[in-house]
């Protein structure tokens, strides 16, 4: 069994097997996908459990709130506890949460299971920094991007998979299938995942308290976390509104909506190309363009809906997903560009802010669509994305001005 140690080069490689990257990405993607299965099934779940329609968006928010709690309570432990043991323990918690969720008979039971599921699924955010620990040097960005492409692909496929299985066996079917997949991947991980003993020697409470110190010491992390929190909120507004729009405006069935959602899966595989932008020093301009493209795609979709142009609506969905995944990949590379000793905590802070924005976006998406349809949702989502583009351009201009002053 191989291992890696923060205390030196032992276990670090410039090249690790592609199969290991794919497996780690698949496990992380499988865990994170649990946050999205309920998104296209909110109406079915709310009807079955007796949840008011205006609160349907909170079904998705519950798991994301739990995920945010896990980012604060669980992920920072990756700087203290052997990573493989921590991930496998969290996966056991995922299985327990899924068991409670699929047997839920009332909103309260579902809510408890959803929050617990989110907390344990945050172990996915131990895996991505783990890849950065495995691969140091110039190939690190591409290794992380390869893993993220697998993760993002799994996340995007979560929506159509939920719709298809929900149509065949009810909303619980997708969560039962997820439990089986988590169990199988856990067995694979037991064999393939290297061990990593971090150097951290402080207690769990001190480690948690140190989050504030890490946050204050990393201004780039603070800015990028805020940017991506806004973008993830916009992204969730978009995908809460899409299934309802396809049903109401285009009269698509659940199976047809599932096929449509597959369009977005192609956008996830732009992650390695985003890593090359970072390697070329075009992080800021890449983020700026990606945010503007997302905003434009969201707004222009109003014209596609008005003209009943489903193909155009699908192409704009592909642009929106690719733009979001580009900004997400670039943001993650910034978050991981810190000292290995604090990488787990830095990633915890980044993802906590990110999913806080995402949870708020899910709630706002359901509420805004209920009140003002796609137009209302698109105005809010596009404004958030354009705001991030403006901040990125302002930051880039400020950095360039400082560089010129220094040169003079």
What is the residue range of 35's domain? Answer: 12-407
Q: What is the CATH number of the domain that holds 23?
A: 1.20.1250.20
**Residue 314 placed within a domain:** yes
* 192-226 pLDDT per residue, tens: 888 887 765 666 567 677 777 787 877 888 888 89
Q: Extract the tokens encoding 182.
A: 């988590």
Residues with Cβ < 8 Å from 319, sequence gap 6 or more? 267, 293, 294, 296, 297
**Residue 6 placed within a domain:** no
**Residue 223 placed within a domain:** yes
DSSP helix/strand/coil, 4 = strand
Query: Rounded distance, CA 210 to CA 76, Å?
Result: 10
Residues of the chain with pLDDT under 50: 1-14, 400-408
**Residue 226 placed within a domain:** yes
**Residue 267 placed within a domain:** yes
Number of domains in the chain: 1
**Residue 1 placed within a domain:** no
Full DSSP string of 140-207: HHHHHHHHHHHHHHHHHHHHHHHHHHHHHH-THHHHHHHHHHHHHHHHHHHHHPPEEE----S-HHHH
**Residue 4 placed within a domain:** no
Q: What is the pLDDT of residue 182?
A: 95
**Residue 30 placed within a domain:** yes
Q: What is the pLDDT of residue 248?
A: 86
Q: What is the pLDDT of residue 343?
A: 75
Q: What is the pLDDT of residue 215?
A: 78
C-beta neighbour count of 45 within 10 angstroms: 22
């Amino acid at each position: 069994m191989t291992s890696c140690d923060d205390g030196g080069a032992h276990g670090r490689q410039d090249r690790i097997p592609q199969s290991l990257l794919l497996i780690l990405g698949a496990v992380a993607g499988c865990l994170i996908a649990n946050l999205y299965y309920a998104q296209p099934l909110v109406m079915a779940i709310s009807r079955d459990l007796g949840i008011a329609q205006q609160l349907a968006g909170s079904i998705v928010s519950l798991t994301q709130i739990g995920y945010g709690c896990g980012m604060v309570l669980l992920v920072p432990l990756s700087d203290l506890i052997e990573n493989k043991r921590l991930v496998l323990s969290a996966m056991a918690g995922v299985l327990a949460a899924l068991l409670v969720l699929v047997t839920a008979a009332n909103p309260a039971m579902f809510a408890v299971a959803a929050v617990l599921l989110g907390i344990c699924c945050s172990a996915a955010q131990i895996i991505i920094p783990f890849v950065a620990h495995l691969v140091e040097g110039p190939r690190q960005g591409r290794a992380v991007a390869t893993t993220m492409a697998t993760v993002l692909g799994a996340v995007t496929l979560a929506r159509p998979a939920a719709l298809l299985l929900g149509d065949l066996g009810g909303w619980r079917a997708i969560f039962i299938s997820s439990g089986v997949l988590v169990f199988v991947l856990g067995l694979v991980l037991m064999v393939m995942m290297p061990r990593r003993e971090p150097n951290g020697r402080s207690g769990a409470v001190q480690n948690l308290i140190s989050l504030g110190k890490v946050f204050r010491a990393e201004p780039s992390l603070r800015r990028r976390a805020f940017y991506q929190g806004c973008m993830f909120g916009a992204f969730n507004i978009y995908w809460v509104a899409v299934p309802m729009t396809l049903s109401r405006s285009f009269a698509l069935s659940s199976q047809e909506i599932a096929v449509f959602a597959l369009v977005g899966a192609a956008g996830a595989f732009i992650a390695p190309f985003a890593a090359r932008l970072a390697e070329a020093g075009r992080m800021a301009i890449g983020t700026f363009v990606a945010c503007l493209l997302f905003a434009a795609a969201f707004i222009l979709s109003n014209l596609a809906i008005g003209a009943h142009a489903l193909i155009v609506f699908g192409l704009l969905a592909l642009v929106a997903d690719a733009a979001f995944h580009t900004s997400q990949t670039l943001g993650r590379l910034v978050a991981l560009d810190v000292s290995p000793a604090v990488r787990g905590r830095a990633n915890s802070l980044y993802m906590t802010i990110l999913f806080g924005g995402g949870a708020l976006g899910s709630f706002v998406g359901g509420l805004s669509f209920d009140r003002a349809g796609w137009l209302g949702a698109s105005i809010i989502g596009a404004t958030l994305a354009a705001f991030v583009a403006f901040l990125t351009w302002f930051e880039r201009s400020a950095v360039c001005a400082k560089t010129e002053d220094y040169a003079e």
